[in-house]
Structure 1
């Protein structure tokens, strides 16, 4: 085996052929290089073939040293113990030569698959791997729960779409989710792409989510940068409704219901004691009244808020394996139009069109009780028949133990 720096082409081929995260990608590497940020492509070859690859970034630490990080890397077969030993031993040597203070990795390794009640449905025994990493000096930072600004999400909600038709995917969703998707289609809710110049439309909705959940996550420039970095692999989408179209649909529904009501009244006049017909007429009267109220409300909303309502928006990125639903926001004032349901379903179909294996709803907290901070989000994702993938988490190795301890004390 040979530990070496990889060309962009070698790295790209390996991560495309092996299940990997979007951050382990050539486009990420190209962006870092174009902005003169330190980035490394490292790997292992055997008989001239790449069998492990890794994108690492670095930043200054303690002025004279560097901190190294691989987001969801390295990409390799972790069941190959000899390869794991060789890669991480050689990685430590490589980074020490480059003034490394410590290195952090969070591999794309799943310890448990769970349902959205937190019950384990499939488990992988990672104790031997964790013990091996510990012997190599890469200490496991624990099975954490919750969200953190200092580490990546360890719990992700993922829908497996490989080998399933759209009809199958719909059928496997919860009834409420299927019903809400159908309602959005009946109301005429649509999705369109936002250009990079329209990022403000997304960001306004994203800030509403921040206000609702009481957090501050990313600034406007971050989302512009993500679009520039990932280019065609990135989509910023907007779920919206045209009230003129919506009112037209309601008026047509009202015309049909009113005709049915009149026909029922005519029959009831001929058969005044027919209880079943009387009940039907009363139900139709309620239905006509309900549709009329929706028309009146929609016209009033059009007067105050305009013809086009921006319901929800989200940033998506995909690689050869997954479509990632990364950041989003919605306007709670327009919850009745259920924009997020329509957006999710349209993007699931988009992932199918790309022949991807999974639709990744991304992070959940790992807390499954009703008092969880993200319980509403958890229930929403559960409705699409997603599973929770629990990752192994972070491994950290001090490369210069004395200075590392001083660094930690200072922090």
Structure 2
């Protein structure tokens, strides 16, 4: 509702600017004024499109759930264990707002670090998580390369038997 109200207010302002610009063009026809009118008309069309889209949001209730995350504080850092967003509203950029609020919370509470957590070690453009990497890097973060996790069998014989049994039953075992 707030969003729709702001769009309507913007639309009113644009219409007023358009009327003033058209009056100016009637008196003094200049290229600058014609360009300004064209720009106002483009903005007006964009705002009207957003208003139409906002009409479809009503079915989801008065408050849209744009993004969500699970956060833990651990010592001197806050960890974002996982987060996600509703793809229907991706253009609202909910994850950016959510993480920005959490960063501000960390500063207010005196935490030393905000950990966006878990990205793979492959950062090329064609990597599976390249978008996630770019998102997290956009917050001017640092990448801390950690050794990963390892398995050290306490009982090597039982461990080998367990692996064979899992293979025979088709149970996949997580590998690091």
TM-score when scaled to structure 2?
A: 0.85
Contact 2:153 2:159 (C-alpha < 8 Å) held by counterparts: no
For each residue in 1:313-366, what CA deviation from the matched residue of structure 2 results, as whole angstroms up to 9, or x when unmatched?
A: 101011331010001221111111111010000000001111111110000111
The aligned residue for residue 67 of structure 2 is 312
Q: After TM superposition, give the deviation of residue 396 of structure 1 in Å.
A: 5.8
For each residue in 1:272-294, what CA deviation from the matched residue of structure 2 results, as whole angstroms up to 9, or x when unmatched?
A: 2x111111111111111211221
Unaligned runs of 5+ in 2: 163-176
Unaligned runs of 5+ in 1: 1-243
1:281 aligns with 2:37: yes
Q: After TM superposition, give the deviation of residue 297 of structure 1 in Å.
A: 1.7
Q: After TM superposition, give the deviation of residue 378 of structure 1 in Å.
A: 0.8
Q: After TM superposition, give the deviation of residue 405 of structure 1 in Å.
A: 1.6
Q: Helix, strand or coil for the counterpart of 1:386?
A: coil
Measure, in 2, the Cα distance between the counterparts of 1:393 and 1:297.
Answer: 45
1:249 aligns with 2:17: no
Q: Helix, strand or coil for the counterpart of 1:310?
A: coil
Measure, in 2, the Cα distance between the counterparts of 1:257 and 1:386.
Answer: 39
1:407 aligns with 2:144: no
The aligned residue for residue 334 of structure 1 is 89
The aligned residue for residue 98 of structure 2 is 343
Measure, in 2, the Cα distance between the counterparts of 1:283 and 1:313.
Answer: 36
The aligned residue for residue 108 of structure 2 is 353
1:382 aligns with 2:137: yes
Q: After TM superposition, give the deviation of residue 407 of structure 1 in Å.
A: 1.8
Q: Helix, strand or coil for the counterpart of 1:391?
A: coil
Where does 1:136-155 land on structure 2 (aligned, <5 Å)?
A: none
Q: After TM superposition, give the deviation of residue 394 of structure 1 in Å.
A: 4.2
Q: Helix, strand or coil for the counterpart of 1:389?
A: coil
Between Structure 1 and Structure 2, the one with more helix by share is 2
Q: Helix, strand or coil for the counterpart of 2:125?
A: coil
Q: After TM superposition, give the deviation of residue 395 of structure 1 in Å.
A: 6.0
What CA RMSD, in Å, does the superposition of the two structures yield over aligned residues? Answer: 1.6
Measure, in 2, the Cα distance between the counterparts of 1:339 and 1:257.
Answer: 26
Between Structure 1 and Structure 2, the one with more strand by share is 1
The aligned residue for residue 195 of structure 1 is none
Between the two proteins, the alignment pairs up a number of residues equal to 162
Higher relative contact order (CA 8 A, sep 6+): 1
Contact 2:78 2:111 (C-alpha < 8 Å) held by counterparts: yes
